[in-house]
Chains A and B, each alone.
Chain A
């Protein structure tokens, strides 16, 4: 089983609609979770961290389900500019610099006019 799994999609979403996708992780000792956005041929950029209580940033909502070992990202009122690949990043370990990073393949989102 892969450390982090994501359905690559693509997720074709009409403009203005809502899209949600999950990322599952295999290591129950994982401590920190992030969603990164990666545009084509660019470096990933942090979208949001994922807290145990869930968090929201504008149209984006992230949730963590430790019991089922997955995190989710929901995008409301999709904009054309939301088209990108959303990478799930899972970190195991707490020490500064001494952590194991695992990336998913990403969920590709294509917002259609």
Chain B
């Protein structure tokens, strides 16, 4: 079954509005969640690391005031795209790292199903 859910799965909005995307862990508590953006035929680009109970860590070039992240509980992180513009249209995906065993410590990523945002 699904480990991570995202809501909404797709959204169309007018330019200038704000859009909130939820990422929810269904199976386990996640102190850390990652947010990505993927443009067509491009790789996933890490936007920020969401930390439960503290400020998110943003990647270089990502505006923290435009992409607001709130990780209020161990199972929910939200990404709000404020004053969205057409260039913000993209596929937004979250993931949760899960510590796994094996020859070395590594983090398998469980990805959410993604949210397709279209800004008109």
Q: With contacts defined as CB atoms under 8 Å apart, how many contacts are there between chain A and chain B in the complex?
A: 72
Alpha-carbon distance between A45 and B32 when the two chains are bound, in angstroms: 19
On whether the beta carbons of B93 and A101 are closer than 8 Å, the reply is no
**Is B103 located at the chain interface by the 8 A CB criterion?**
yes
On whether the beta carbons of A52 and B103 are closer than 8 Å, the reply is yes
**Is A97 located at the chain interface by the 8 A CB criterion?**
yes
Interface string of B102-120 (1 = CB under 8 A from A): 1111111101111010000
**Is A66 located at the chain interface by the 8 A CB criterion?**
no
Q: With A43-B114, A97-B31 given, is the CB distance from A32 to B44 under 8 Å?
A: no
Residues of B in contact, count (CB < 8 Å): 29
**Is A87 located at the chain interface by the 8 A CB criterion?**
yes
Q: Interface of chain B, helix or strand or loop or mixed?
A: strand
Max chain A C-beta neighbours (<10 A), residue from B31, B44, B116? B44
For B46, give the chain A residue with the smallest CB separation. Answer: A101
For A43, give the chain B residue with the smallest CB separation. Answer: B111
On whether the beta carbons of B42 and A105 are closer than 8 Å, the reply is yes
